[in-house]
Chains A and B, each alone.
Chain A
Amino acid sequence: MTTRASLGVVSFSRADVVRFWRQAPASFRIGTAVLAFHIAVAITGPLWAPYGQADLFVGPALAAPGWSHPFGTDVLGRDVFSRVVHGAHLVIVLSVLGTLIGVVVGTTIGLLSAYLRGWFDTLVMRLIETLISIPYLVLALLAVAAAGPEYAGDPVLLVLVVGFVFSPRVARMARAAGLDVVTRDFVTIARLRGESPWSVVVRELLPNATGTLLVEFALRTGYAPVLIGTLGFLGFGLRPPSPEWGLMISEYRNLLLASPFVVLMPGLMLASLIIGLNMWTEGLARILGRSVRYDE
């Protein structure tokens, strides 16, 4: 007896999953393993981390790594291992939410623009071009500053800023993907049937752009921790005592001489998360690219 799982119209058996996994590129498998580790830490971490993310003086200040404090402690006697673990879900949730906003907004604008053309398209393209012409970090810094000191350090602001910086770039991709399909017969037929632009975009253009957008989403999810970390590092992201890794690296930079470990550990986690996401994305692109070639 085979177990069959169902995802809407797509159903697959366990054997299908095993075959898919065996045939998947190595980068996809390594990426998945690294991401699984990070997601496991993010979900279960708060349960088994020895201390809270901001518990002060749980040990002597600046203790060297040892049994009671695997990564040592910082100036305030906080356990660095616990803080790094608590940072995992923070970084992942903020990155995914921010990217999701960027991809949803960008896709909507891009596909609508591709379908409607005319003055709407011209206007949107100019706007996109303008926003892309401001280097992304500068745009993000400007957006945080424009939000004002009241919202500084607010995670919601950070998520919105990531979405804001990503959306014009996603919109350009989505528009290009939409333009590829918009002249096909099935789109014309849908239009002649009298479907509304929104319906055509959602039911005809979107399914055909899914592959491109999936890769774009994965790629951007890899950029998001860098952007969030960089903003935290520069003092424009989350505020202390948040255990966001970029912020931790910035806070502990001065301790490099005393104990390099407190900087290396959050750095290692951040880098491994990005490596995992990059490899996963590369594998995903190859899988989707391969299937596209089969279609031809």
Chain B
Amino acid sequence: MKLASLLLTRIALAAVTLLLVSVFTFAAVEIIPGDMATRYLGQEATPQAVAVLKKRMGLDRPAPDRYLEWIRGFVVGDFGVSLASERPVSEVLGPKIRNTAILAVSAFILYLPLTLIPAAFAAVNRDRAADHLLTSLNLLAVSIPPFLLATLLLVVFVVVLPWFPAISAVTEETSSWDLVQLLVLPTATLAISMAAYTMRMLRDNLIEILDADFVRMAELKGMSRQRVLWRHALPNALGPSLNITALNVAFLVSGVVVVEKVFAYPGFGRQMVDALLIEDQPVVQATVLLASGVYIAANLLADLGQILLNPRLREG
């Protein structure tokens, strides 16, 4: 029963953290100077008009009441009404979240081979020219911030070689081939940035494991190098990469903000930046809490995965 209580503790802690994040987010948006009603009506609005709007928006009530109402709505999927578009936030965010999910999933799919293959290749050829080349390339990739990488890809593949469209305008009519074309550069940016962080760690883990006795044993048994690498070494090197994967989810949340801005991709991250710029508070609150929720969930899953993968904890 030790395992069950361990898992439950982790889940409870994640829930507490999410709750604290919601309080923090609400408070942060609350202290943005000026109130929503005045900003919405403009500087010339009469005090009466502001007061009427405040009452309608519920701004005349104390902050704790409004927080409770907001969080109660959040649980059932009612995120309030966007100030900019006067539409429900869930309606505004829905298609954006779908677009970002497509981007994030394709980035993750590309990220896996982009990490595994160079890491395995470098580890097997350790301290040879190929390893040095890959490690140097990796250092370069780590050192180029995503907004710069995205801009450089734009220069090369849109300006110099006009292979891809510069703007990723996704609409209902976008055909699936067009969608693939639009996704290539944003996906590549995210995948390269993520892979850069993981590849080095996976390479070091792999090298450590390739030196371990059980791998030597497998080699001495006459097993082929390929088989030793993919069947014995790699699965054992993946464990510590779980936490990195959770970190990558955090990176994705920050990464989509940048990449969607560069490629004008209509997603969640761009919506968040736009909402912050025009101070559309309900949208800001919803996007920040959702982004944090994704990160907390990813961390929780990595934690649970590690507990479940650890035989000592499983049996206890």
Contacts and interface: CB of A to CB of B under 8 A. Distances in A.
Contact of B145 (A136, A226, A253): A226
Nearest to A275: B143
A234 B253 contact: no
Interface stretch (B79-87, B149-157, B305-313): B149-157
Contacts of B159: 256-257, 260
Interface string A167-200: 0000000000000000000000000000000000
B257 A146 contact: no
A133 interface: yes
A223 to B, nearest CB: 10
Contacts of B139: 275, 278-279
Q: Name the residue in B24, B140, B148, B154 with the highest tally of chain A Cβ atoms < 10 Å from its Cβ.
A: B148
Interface stretch (A4-12, A210-218, A264-272): A264-272
A74 to B, nearest CB: 16
Contacts of A145: 28, 32, 276, 279, 284
Given A135-B295, A233-B258, A130 B24 contact: yes
A145 B284 CA distance: 10
Nearest to A144: B276
Contact of A133 (B34, B142, B257, B295): B295
A263 interface: yes
Interface string B151-195: 110110011100000000000000000000000000000000000
Interface string A89-102: 00000000000000
Given A229-B147, A274-B143, A129 B17 contact: yes
A142 B27 CA distance: 11
B273 interface: yes
Contacts of B25: 134, 142
Contacts of B120: none
B253 A275 contact: no
B301 interface: no
B148 A270 contact: yes
A118 interface: no
A149 to B, nearest CB: 7
A1 B11 CA distance: 67
A250 to B, nearest CB: 8
Contacts of B34: 148
Q: Is the interface of A mostly helix, strand, loop or mixed?
A: helix
A146 B34 CA distance: 10
B117 interface: no
Interface in A224-244: 225-226, 229-230, 233-236
Contacts, number: 133
A206 interface: no
Contacts of B154: 253, 256
Contact of B254 (A129, A138, A148): A138
B20 interface: yes
B38 interface: no
Q: Closest 7 interchain pairs by CB?
A: A137-B254, A148-B33, A130-B20, A275-B143, A274-B143, A135-B253, A226-B145
Given A141-B276, A230-B146, A271-B144, 7 more contacts: A126-B17, A133-B21, A142-B25, A142-B284, A145-B32, A234-B147, A270-B148
Interface of B: 13, 16-18, 20-21, 24-25, 28-29, 31-34, 139-140, 142-148, 151-152, 154-155, 158-160, 250, 253-254, 257-258, 261-262, 272-273, 276-277, 279, 284, 288, 291-292, 295-296, 299
24 contacts: A126-B17, A127-B20, A130-B20, A133-B21, A133-B296, A135-B250, A136-B250, A141-B257, A142-B29, A142-B276, A143-B28, A146-B31, A148-B32, A148-B34, A226-B145, A230-B146, A230-B258, A233-B147, A263-B151, A263-B155, A264-B152, A267-B151, A270-B145, A274-B144
